[in-house]
Amino acid sequence: MIIAIDGPAASGKGTLARRLAAHYGLPHLDTGLLYRAVGARCLAAGTLDDEAASAQAARELDVDALDPDALRTAALGEAASVVAARPQVRAALLALQHRFAARPGGAVLDGRDIGTVICPGAEAKLFVTAAPQVRAERRFRELAGRGEPVTFEAVLADIHKRDARDSGRAAAPLVMAPDAVLLDTSSLDIPAAFAAALAVVEARRAGR
């Protein structure tokens, strides 16, 4: 079974993807980490504005060497969204995502274009969202908790900017697949959101 989870930054999709993967014993790929890793390499090399260099960085990406803690910073979220708007970068990351999704038994993938581009045939698709204020509060707590010097206002501005860039780009924009189920986690805690997500997947498995 392939479970495809898409949604904007800090919507709760990563937490739900991890929990669903644990529940069903499936491998999980946080595809945002791929774009963050490409952004990190470009920032380090001073080539963030260079489309060809970012595509080369994507082609050379070592998926086994990703360090989630180091990649989940505010600056790399922004850099990821810049490189992710480039068709050449997205094309370079396609094969490895397809390979992951083709694992025997299935997989859980989360990102922006999983249900629309990467795994359009996924058995279960969720589009997870929440109000921008709520997402900014969550992301602010997460980043501040890790000692990042951020303010709530800056995090909210970043959320708005990334939403606009991810939804407005021509290449694989953030958009809900027609057969995805919308899950708004604005007023849900993690157990309630997980219960709702599980109910969606179970309904799909039962053919409903």
| CA–CA distance, 165 with 161 (Å, rounded to integer) | 6
101 binds ligand C5P (CB under 6 A): no
Which token pair is 36? 């963050």
112 binds ligand C5P (CB under 6 A): yes
129 binds ligand C5P (CB under 6 A): no
Site for ligand C5P in 14-73 (CB under 6 A): 31-32, 35-36
Please state the closest distance from residue 172 (CB atom) to ligand C5P, in A: 7
Among 16, 111, 143, 159, binds ligand C5P (CB under 6 A): 111
Q: What is the DSSP letter of 30?
A: E
80 binds ligand C5P (CB under 6 A): yes
84 binds ligand C5P (CB under 6 A): yes
> In this chain, which stretch among 44-52, 74-82, 140-148, 180-188 interacts with ligand C5P, using CB under 6 A?
74-82
Long-range CB contacts (within 8 A, 24+) of 114-117: 114/4, 114/5, 114/6, 114/31, 115/4, 115/5, 115/6, 115/176, 115/177, 115/179, 115/180, 116/6, 116/172, 116/175, 116/177, 117/172
Q: Which residues pair with 182 in a beta bridge?
A: 127
Among 12, 77, 106, 115, binds ligand C5P (CB under 6 A): 77
Report the residue number, 162 or 204, with the smaller CB distance to ligand C5P: 162
127 binds ligand C5P (CB under 6 A): no
Q: Which of 9, 6, 19, 1 is nearest to 196 (CA)?
A: 19
Q: Are strands 124-129 and 107-111 parallel, antiparallel or unpaired?
A: unpaired
| Residues near ligand C5P (CB under 6 A) | 9, 31-32, 35-36, 77, 80-81, 84, 111-113, 162, 166
